[in-house]
Amino acid sequence: MPSMATGDRRNFNSNNNINHPQFKPHGDHKSDFLSRRQKIEQQRRSLPIASVEKRLVEEVRKNDTLIIVGETGSGKTTQLPQYLYNGGFCHNGGIIGITQPRRVAAVTVAKRVAEECDAELGQKIGYSIRFEDMTSPSTKIKYMTDGLLLREALLDPKLSRYSVIVVDEAHERTVQTDVLLGLLKDVQKNRSQNSNEVRKLNPLKLIIMSASLDARGFSEYFGGAKAVHVMGRQFPVDILYTAQPETDCLDAALVTIFQIHLEEGPGDILVFLSGQEEIESIEGLVRENLKKLPEANQKLLIFPLFSSLPSEKQLKVFTPAPVGFRKVILATNIAETSVTIPGVKYVIDPGLVKVRSYSPDSGIESLIVVKTSKAQALQRSGRAGREGPGKCFRLYPESRFEGLDDSTVPEIKRCNLSNVILQLSALGVDDIIGFDFMEKPDRMAVIRSLELLYLLGALTDEKKLSDPIGQQMARLPLEPNDSKALILASQFDCLEEMLIVVSMLSVESIFYVPRDKLEESRTVIKSFSSPEGDHITLVNVYRASIEFLEKNKTENGNEKAEKNLRKWCKDNFINNRSLKHARDIYNQIRENVERMGLKMSSCGDDMLQLRRCLAASYFLNAALKQPDGTYRVLANGQIAEIHPTSVVRRSKPECVVFYNLVQTTRNYVRNVTRIDYLWLAELAPQCYALKDD
């Protein structure tokens, strides 16, 4: 362990070539005397994008597709839609849609723009995200998630309500963005060709906004579309590199934290780490070393931040440090784009990130730590320059930066594609291999996903969407296998229970156990567990929470009941946020299946029905115990163990179905339920026909 007290330190080389553009700070003290409206107007006019308003509107008028490259702080997301509205792009009754990869962004930006326009949110300016529609017939500027626009396209394939669609943050290249880009390209072509339709549609104006410096990829994809650059506004960030490569990243991060704390001026420190485990161990180390310092130097507050952290703990990072104190935030990638923490002046970037990888051959998902891309390193360092000049300490030599990939591999090249294919089939795209993706997904991954959809009955022999199964599956906002499970559940008379199962499985980690309460948690969690498996255990948790909530509502009213539920969750080591999310999903899906005409039914406590239905639905995830106690996945021969958190880990049933297979230190199947081997041949003959001996 490093001995902080003895002055272990790192030498950093500064290089200002890779600096951010320098601009003057935008604080204006005169504005204290102005009204809020005047202030807003003044801020709007001072944005870098304001000087090119006329030109941008003109370019959109002249070009059906335009690429806008705008760096952080340019104001493109809030201003451009307003310019277009004022420029008359809604005159023919069409509306302006702006897509965002994240829900919070859609909501906060819409609120801001409504304020700027002095409009009530949901009227002229609105937003629409899953579970929440804040739009009305009078909405002209609509912010939404890109996933939601894809869903809308299922109902209105020409997106006829829209005169302009702006795809924001396109450089992030999420699966949804990539699918959307392909779809929009198609829609645009169709809308300008089909002039003989009864109601002629105006051509669709398309604007792709990206923060990456490389607009060429987008421009080429859209047939040489014009690209314009808009200045950003960021404070300068000094980039510093270590002189030598680091062998131990955690140690280097630790040393750098203290180096900044002891030698640099006021300002909080943001450290990018790969995951919860790393964060928790470095948290301990910082605390330990802090105690060794003279008391005057101990004024450092530590805040962990990762997505599965309960929200009340997450919110703590936003409280400013008391005078004389410095905050150090130990965060995952969540702090890269999703969460912006005020007060950060120093960023420590070890240059690593944990990413999901997916092997189409084995169907195994794993999380691996890889080097960041250049774009990602730039994004991270930018977090130091939001409120004033900052410094970014990269824990690797400058020569290594040059060797990094320019940008992160688009998600579509490293994920399971069955949902993408199902959605596109529902949009009438039958030839997935030939679909004009900006970046083609792996051919093998496409074939595997087609096979899966075929085995689930969603696709016909001709690779067309089947009716009604495929149609119904495409309408549900779930993974294809989960949608199929619901459709079958209505035949197995356990739809109610399966709704709970898929809702609970759709959210991240229902249980949250702090490190120091491991023992205590075991007995508590055990009270929910079913010997038959994890699926039924999840049903028990959900039912218990609903029962608690309903009982409390009648006794104490809604508000008090929600508060009591939070306490109940804490006592039972359940993540309240995840449970709430599961409840939202449950309600949404329930409405969906009812509207689809599926027969609502409950098996009560007859969980045999539910287990049979699980076998019939997740037959590709069936595994058989081997003599050595490991399990063999019947469909592909993969060997795995039951995850230690599973309730059937000890009882080791002969035959199981599982929800997912993940690779960590070993191959593990998670969310496992005991089934009867003979059910497979009976319920999934397309896969497990019995041999005629």
Partner DNA sequence: GAGCACTGC
Return residues touching DNA (CB under 7 A).
Answer: 101-104, 129-130, 145, 147-148, 150-151, 174, 176, 274-277, 306-308, 332-334, 338, 354-356, 367, 419, 477-479, 506, 508-509, 513, 518, 522, 643-645, 649, 664-666, 668
Query: Sign of the CA dihedral 542, 545, 550, 553?
Result: negative
CB-CB contact of 528 with 489 (8 Å): no
User: For residues 218 and 668, which CB has a smaller minimum distance to DNA in the complex?
Assistant: 668
Whether the bond into 468 is cis, omega within 30 of 0? yes
CA angle 266, 269, 272 (to 5 degrees): 170
The minimum distance between CB 517 and DNA, in angstroms, equals 10
The set of residues, in sequence order, having a beta carbon less than 8 Å from that of 600 and lying 6+ positions away, is: 490, 495, 496, 593, 594
Which CB sits closer to DNA, 12 or 143? 143
Residue positions counted in the chain: 693
Amino acid, single-letter form, for residue 227: A
| Neighbouring residues of 242: CB distance < 8 A, sequence distance ≥ 6 | 10, 11, 12, 13, 252, 394, 395, 396, 397
Sequence-separated (6 or more) residues with CB below 8 Å from residue 212: 69, 171, 375, 407
Name residue 85's amino acid: Y
Residue with tokens 């807003």: 40
Query: Shortest distance, CB of residue 364 to DNA, whole angstroms?
Result: 13
**HSE of 165 in the Cβ direction (CA atoms, 13 Å)?**
28
Q: Which is nearer to DNA, 526 or 551 (CB)?
A: 526
Alpha carbon distance 625, 146 (integer Å): 43
Question: Of the two residues 19 and 630, which places its CB atom closer to DNA in the complex?
Answer: 630
Nearer Cβ to DNA (73/101)? 101
Q: How far is the CB of 67 from DNA (least distance, A)?
A: 23
How many Cα atoms occupy the beta-carbon half-sphere of 42 within 13 Å? 14
In the complex, minimum distance from the CB of residue 159 to DNA, in angstroms, rounded to a whole number: 15
**CA proximity to 231, closest of 75, 106, 41, 421:** 75
The residue (of 292 and 666) whose beta carbon lies closer to DNA is 666
Residues in contact with 388: Cβ distance below 8 Å, sequence separation at least 6, in sequence order:
25, 235, 267, 345
The structure tokens 């009982």 sit at 551
Nearer to DNA, 235 or 306 (CB): 306
Strands, E, within 385-460: which ranges? 390-394
Q: How far is CA 143 from the centre of its chain?
A: 17
DSSP state of 362: T
CB of 165 to DNA, least distance (A): 16
Buried b (16+ CB within 10 A) or exposed e, 193-214: eeeeeeeebbebbbbbbbbbee
Least distance to DNA, CB of residue 271, Å: 14
Q: Are strands 226-230 and 65-70 parallel, antiparallel or unpaired?
A: parallel
**What's the min distance (Å) between Cβ of 144 and DNA?**
7
Q: How far is Cα 37 from Cα 31, in angstroms, rounded to an integer?
A: 11
Residue (158 or 354) nearer to DNA, CB: 354
**Which pair of structure tokens corresponds to residue 13?**
């080389």
Is 148 or 395 the residue whose CB approaches DNA more closely?
A: 148
Q: Which residues pair with 368 in a beta bridge?
A: 355
Query: CB 626 → DNA: shortest distance, Å?
Result: 16
DSSP 8-state symbol, 690? P
Contacts with 222 (C-beta within 8 Å, 6 or more apart), sequence order = 65, 67, 185, 206, 208
In whole angstroms, how close is the CB of 678 to DNA at the nearest point?
Answer: 30
Which residues are registered as beta bridge partners of 354? 369
Minimum distance from residue 129 beta carbon to DNA (Å):
4
Cβ of residue 442: shortest distance to DNA, in angstroms?
16
Query: How far is Cα 136 from Cα 127, in angstroms, rounded to an integer?
Result: 10
Cβ proximity to DNA, 102 vs 625, nearer residue: 102
**Least distance from C-beta 430 to DNA, angstroms?**
21
Question: Shortest distance, CB of residue 408 to DNA, whole angstroms?
Answer: 9
Q: Measured from the CB atom, is 177 or 242 closer to DNA?
A: 177
Residue 160 or 357: the one with the smaller Cβ distance to DNA is 357
User: What's the closest the beta carbon of residue 156 comes to DNA, in angstroms?
Assistant: 14
Return the number of the residue (148 or 254) whose C-beta is nearest DNA.
Answer: 148
Name the residue nearer to DNA (CB basis): 545 or 667. 667
Q: Which is nearer to DNA, 85 or 162 (CB)?
A: 162
CB of 373 closer than 8 Å to CB of 405:
yes
- 300-305 β-sheet, strand order: 12-15, 237-242, 390-394, 344-349, 268-272, 326-331, 300-305
Taking the complex as a whole, the smallest distance from the CB of residue 208 to DNA amounts, in Å, to 18
In the complex, minimum distance from the CB of residue 237 to DNA, in angstroms, rounded to a whole number: 22
- Closest to DNA by CB, 222 or 631: 631
DSSP labels for 57-102?
A: HHHHHH-SEEEEEE-TTS-HHHHHHHHHHHTTTTTTS-EEEEEESS
